[in-house]
Amino acid sequence: MKIVATRAELAAWRDACGGKTLGFVPTMGYLHEGHFSLVRESRGANDLTAVSIFVNPTQFGPTEDLARYPRDFESDRRNLEALGVDLLYAPDARDMYGEGTETWVVNRGSCDILCGRSRPGHFDGVLTVVLKLFQRTRPTRAYFGKKDYQQFVLIRRMAQDLDLPVEVLGRPTVRLPSGLALSSRNSYLTHGELEAAPALHRTLAEMRRRAHSREETRVEALTHWGRQTLEASGFKVDYLEIRAAETLSERAVAGDACVALAAAYLGKTRLIDNLEF
């Protein structure tokens, strides 16, 4: 596995690839099975696979956890090498942004709802860095986990709207047997919080069951029940909504092609999850 840290090194490696197909998995490191599943899928569908590790400062707000975001580069490197990754791109902020960035990617449709409402400017940072990574790696296909569902929808829309020559693929959330979605931020949870955390997925699953069985299809009623259930389980709910899966537009009735999305705090840790209907 080749490791590069600069844009120039990455360009030289990419130029040498010729016409080979390239799968790309962008990450912020502290890798887990969710990331590894994307790597394995890329390796099965492409001639070469590249992974980036970059904790992007522009998607963190001033009171968020940039400084304490978990990092373990050596463990990540060993795991990626064992998986047969061809290239690891690990830039620093200076390589990514130079002396500063004045031009940003802004989505005017679905950027200010859900996580975007709670984290102003977050998706501007996400979309801008992903576009820069796409421009540098020039991938054939790019792989994203659907745990960050809104992020996936926005990146896919960016690729469509800006005519980017990359296929953006979303893959199912990888979970523990308890149902808890794998996340680097799970490392923040105490033992007691880890035991309580699967209630987030269970609540979404029960909302889906009620909708599928026609026991209750009104979005307002489903989300009201879900909020009460999460609060009784010790969560502080940021949002709990049911929206159209493709566009994230509002829905009054839950049915096919919907997705339930939630963000909630356990202690100081903000967890997100979703479940497609």
Between helix 149-161 and helix 122-137 the angle, nearest 10°, is: 60
Active site members: 35
Q: What is the rounded distance in angstroms from the CA atom of residue 41 to the CA atom of residue 171?
A: 9
Q: What is the rounded distance in angstroms from the CA atom of residue 35 to the CA atom of residue 32?
A: 6
Phi, psi of 69 (to 5 degrees): -55, 130
Q: What is the rounded distance in angstroms from the CA atom of residue 139 to the CA atom of residue 133?
A: 9
Instruction: Tell me the β-bridge partners of 253.
Output: 218
Q: What is the rounded distance in angstroms from the CA atom of residue 52 to the CA atom of residue 29?
A: 8
Residue 270: HSE in the Cβ half-sphere, 13 Å Cα cutoff: 12
Q: What is the rounded distance in angstroms from the CA atom of residue 267 to the CA atom of residue 38?
A: 30
Q: Which amino acid is at 113?
A: I
Pairing mode of beta strands 236-244, 167-171: unpaired
Paired tokens of 195? 């035991």
